[in-house]
Amino acid sequence: MSAEKRIEFRKKLEESGLFDSITCVISQLYEEYENPIDPLQFLKERLGNSTGANPDELRAKNTKLREEIQQLEQRIAEVKKQKGNQ
């Protein structure tokens, strides 16, 4: 990766707040009374899914909603076609 691309990438990470978030979580890890057994899991819990939602459930819901959208788009096309024939 060129130096220019690295600088651009770093700037995007800084603007997104990622560095601040990671710094905050690492500080929390340092300040823990007892070090967690799995530091990586600690980071994942702090940075990851804050809603506690199950990723598999979210994927299934996403698939269902995409199918629903497709059905609605087909229905819209049918209605437009009927309006055009009148």
Question: What single-letter DSSP state applies at residue 50?
Answer: T
Chain segment 19-42, per-residue pLDDT in tens: 888 898 888 888 887 888 888 888
Q: What pTM was estimated for this model as a whole?
A: 0.46
Phi, psi of 27 (to 5 degrees): -65, -40
pLDDT at 75 over 90: yes
* Of the candidates 72, 21, 60, the residue with the CA atom closest to the CA atom of residue 44: 21
Structure tokens belonging to residue 17:
């707040």
Chain segment 42-72, per-residue pLDDT in tens: 888 888 765 667 778 889 999 999 999 999 9
* Helical (H) or strand (E) element with 81: helix 55-85
